Chains A and B, each alone.
Chain A
Amino acid sequence: MNAPVTVRVQREDFDLAAEVASLSRGRGDIGAVVTFSGLCRDEAGVLGALELEHYPGMAEAEIERICHEAVKRFGLQATTAIHRYGKIMPGENIVLVVTASPHRQAAFDGANFIMDFLKTSAPFWKKEHRADGSTGGWVSAKDADDTARDRWSPKG
């Protein structure tokens, strides 16, 4: 099956509609497309910006590994994942995952699976900058993210 995996790690913003169009262009076999986008929250006005650091090369490779695993596991017809780095302001996009499948459930599950693994194993780190100009420090990893990832494992 032709199941293209497109992964980009970039400073620039992305366009959801353009990415969906690009993924489904020229194909009549896709029945469901799910998009997930993650945005920078302002934390009730406290957060001024997030600074995203990444490991160039490994970031792309790790997201590709996750997407290929999702294609295999859920029978996806195509996936696109884009993750931004650099300074990101509240309200701006951070991450995009697009999945396509013949029926909706695989596309929903595939997008969920990709995000759960991306959060715990793609090498990105967020640093907070507060709206008052002070540094908020590095964001701590959450146990809830590990729990979300582990639900995909048969061992639990």
Chain B
Amino acid sequence: MSTVSLVYFSWVRERIGRGEETLELPANVVTVADLLAHLKTLGEQYEAALEHQNVIRAAINQEHVDHGEPIAGAREIALFPPMTGG
């Protein structure tokens, strides 16, 4: 088990129903893709937020990463939709 801080933004935050949380992750959660699959087992609101898994963007320690990125050593993992600033 490892402990990680998760932060959510935009409609990912709204659908999950909170902006941040700290979770214990099982050892078989190795990559961002594993994390998304794990979160979807935690309840309907996670399923709704992460339903279209390929559009979800991730950042580890405030840098963009792909879904294949290992999460070992991450202090903060952010999940959010495609960005619409500017």
Which B54-86 residues sit within 8 Å CB-CB of chain A? Answer: 59, 62-64, 78, 80-86
**What is the 8 Å Cβ interface bit string for chain A, positions 55-83, against chain B (1 contact, 0 not)?**
10110011000000000000000000001
Using a CB–CB distance below 8 Å, which chain A residues touch chain B?
38, 52-55, 57-58, 61-62, 83, 94-95, 115, 118-127, 138-141
Known: A53-B10, A55-B7, A61-B62. A121 touches B86 (CB 8 A): no
Inter-chain contacts of B80 with A (CB < 8 A): 55, 123, 125
Which B5-27 residues sit within 8 Å CB-CB of chain A? Answer: 7, 9-11
Known: A55-B78, A58-B78, A121-B64. A126 touches B84 (CB 8 A): yes
Q: How many residues of B contact A (CB 8 A)?
A: 16
Residues A125 and B59 in contact, CB atoms below 8 Å apart: no
Inter-chain contacts of A61 with B (CB < 8 A): 62-63
- Who on chain A is nearest to B62 by CB? A58
A61 to B64, CA, bound (A): 11
Inter-chain contacts of B11 with A (CB < 8 A): 138
A118 to B83, CA, bound (A): 9
- Minimum CB–CB distance from A97 to chain B (whole Å) comes to 9
- Who on chain B is nearest to A115 by CB? B86
- Minimum CB–CB distance from B19 to chain A (whole Å) comes to 10
**Interface contacts beyond A58-B62, A58-B78, A125-B9: sample of 12 additional A-B pairs, CB < 8 Å, sorted by A:** A55-B80, A94-B85, A118-B86, A119-B84, A122-B83, A123-B59, A124-B83, A124-B84, A125-B80, A138-B11, A138-B84, A141-B82
A94 to B86, CA, bound (A): 7
